[in-house]
Chain A
């Protein structure tokens, strides 16, 4: 007999706890109508019913996983190594996201007087953030797999981002690359 799976145990308990919290705390406090509403003697379905049913499915699924999926193969479990990878991945995404969002406005603020908003539809200003942030993202992820930063990975990141600019931005006037819809 295989040992009980800690992953499934945690998943089951987590789903049960999360769904009970949703059903008894979150949904009642974050919806303005209940499960069923009566207005002028007309009974109708309230906004809380559907999410409560959905949380009920998560609860039932969690209970089933906890009680029945006793064992799990080595492939279906979350290890500390998986969590470390996620930290690295999300860090690369956060840094490149920040560069994508702020590099253009920062460059415009340093070099010009009118600011980024007035320039966000002109080349090269509108591409600065996307080019730097996108290159950083692609180069960072390639480097994380290769275990080192190489000139080749930097070039691939830059070329891939330029290709995306050519595909998404140059032929279409109505498409906005990040971050130009936000600034």
Chain B
């Protein structure tokens, strides 16, 4: 089996699956339909302030798994749906940011700076079109980079890295994630350490489940869904409800914006915006490829760097960044959207999730089975078919299809989603809370699991209140078992060498980088805080 055979099989797996319905006699496969549903749901979720892609993914995952079952045939429809949500939410986040000065997702905050002034100036339609065009461009570029890079990186890892090097690479990823996220390296380390510790409860190689305090409840460990959904979703919901309680807003309807003049995006606009989109797409893709650095930082960096260029080249009549410059909307949206594809590079090539959306893709793969994201996926076997590689190319196909949907129906659907701002947040959040708890119960079928999730939710709430990012916790929780297993194997394979992490040059380099990234971040953040 050659590369092109696998690509063909991947494409066929998406298009040739069981038929869901037909349009003008053309059969539409279930995977295709699920990508579309996920994409539309993602736009609606992104356009709703208080919701974000991960919430939709968390709530829909148990329903999807129940609908499609635990067989490898379920992988592409379920993961295609989640990919659709991930992409749709990024586009949708710009809608309330532009129309109502309220970012639908955190990474759309910078979009408000120029998008809302544009809308107030009667150019809401144009701002939305620019946001959509930039977002779709950045996303497509990022996906192309993913498809080209992930297999090569995976092959490189599988060919050159042995067990000690893989252990060191996992340590480097965790050190990187805990150092670069948030404003404090110390808090990042605490978050990561807690995630690792929680993942070790109730596990181990001995008959006695460690750290279980002799109780049956902890003997099986914390279910992944309780920790991930608790810290990521419930923590955010708890904080959101408290913020609403303290604000006690009247819920007054936002001031409607009126459109004046030509709202279309013409060739001249595209030519003028293209350099800004290209620069932001490069920045977003580079940042997205590093695990843990989110789209918010990409948007901030893309905006700042493009602002410097804009100030140099703009004419005196052009509005400055922050006062309704179309280039500002383009710079932000291209940067935050180009993170989503590149974020899957560490997931598919190393098995290391880089953001919350990637966490849910790994959760889906783990729950369904038959696909273990990591370097082993890209094993091009000549004699037999590697089913995981077919799924990987199926996922690439799903991503490109989601892009196609974005280019075709995405813009129209996005522009109709302004109505989502009217969903009252104080009604939405309690419903999301019950939905999340229900989703956890239907997966775990014990009330205890709901309490575990609530406890993790309280932890996530405190993390947010203390300015501690919950993402290192979640990623460390997911990688904890893998890290321990790889370290055990490496220790055994080196004959019990306690220095196995520093004897090989590559492993030593990874460990030195881990220390280096922590020290560098400490110095940088000290300077920033001074």
Contacts and interface: CB of A to CB of B under 8 A. Distances in A.
A and B assemble together: yes
Interface of A: 7, 11-12, 15, 19, 22, 26-27, 30-33, 42-45, 47-48, 50-51, 53-66, 68-69, 71-73, 75-78, 81-82, 85-86, 89-90, 93, 97, 100-101, 130, 134, 137-138, 140-142, 144-147, 156-157, 160-161, 164, 167-168, 171-172, 174-182
Contact of B210 (A51, A100, A168, A182): A51
Nearest to A98: B447
A58 B189 CA distance: 6
Interface in B164-204: 178, 184-194, 196-197, 200, 204
B142 to A, nearest CB: 31
B238 A47 contact: no
A168 B189 contact: no
Given A51-B211, A172-B66, A31 B206 contact: yes
Interface string B480-517: 10011001100110001000000000000000000000
Decide if the interface of chain A is mainly helix, strand, loop or mixed. Answer: helix
A47 B200 CA distance: 9
Given A78-B466, A85-B242, A182-B446, A62 B67 contact: no
B438 interface: yes
A62 B214 CA distance: 28
Contact of A58 (B197, B431, B466, B488): B197
Given A62-B190, A78-B466, A82-B242, A44 B210 contact: no
Contacts of B444: 181
Contacts of A32: 206-208, 210
Contacts of A45: 484, 487-488, 491-492
A30 B204 contact: no
B446 A78 contact: no
A33 B200 CA distance: 14
A177 to B, nearest CB: 7
Contacts of A138: 430-431, 433-434
B312 interface: no
Contacts of B148: none
A61 B248 CA distance: 36
B419 interface: no
Contacts of A177: 438, 441-442
B186 to A, nearest CB: 3
Contacts, number: 211
Complex A-B, nearest 7 residue pairs according to Cβ-Cβ distance, in ascending order: A181-B445, A64-B186, A57-B193, A61-B189, A76-B467, A43-B496, A61-B190
13 contacts: A30-B212, A30-B213, A31-B210, A45-B488, A51-B197, A51-B200, A58-B193, A65-B184, A68-B186, A77-B465, A78-B466, A138-B431, A145-B241
Interface size class of B (residues with CB under 8 A): 35 or more
Given A45-B491, A47-B204, A61-B189, A141 B429 contact: yes
Interface of B: 62-63, 66-67, 178, 184-194, 196-197, 200, 204-208, 210-214, 238, 241-242, 244-246, 248, 426-427, 429-431, 433-435, 437-438, 441-442, 444-447, 450-451, 454, 458, 461-462, 465-467, 480, 483-484, 487-488, 491-492, 496, 522, 526, 529
A26 B429 CA distance: 37
B288 to A, nearest CB: 26
Nearest to A29: B213
Contacts of A175: 62, 66, 442
B1 to A, nearest CB: 36
Contact of B447 (A33, A82, A178): A178
Nearest to B443: A175
Contacts of B178: 57, 61
B211 A30 contact: yes
B206 A47 contact: yes
B208 A31 contact: yes
B466 A147 contact: no
A128 B427 CA distance: 22
A61 B192 CA distance: 9
B211 A26 contact: yes
Contact of A57 (B189, B244, B430): B189
Contacts of B194: 54, 58
Contacts of A164: 434-435, 438
A18 B205 CA distance: 25
Contacts of B461: 86
A49 to B, nearest CB: 8
Nearest to A15: B190
Contacts of A85: 242, 245
B434 A137 contact: yes
Nearest to B60: A167
Given A31-B204, A69-B187, A77 B466 contact: yes
A153 to B, nearest CB: 8
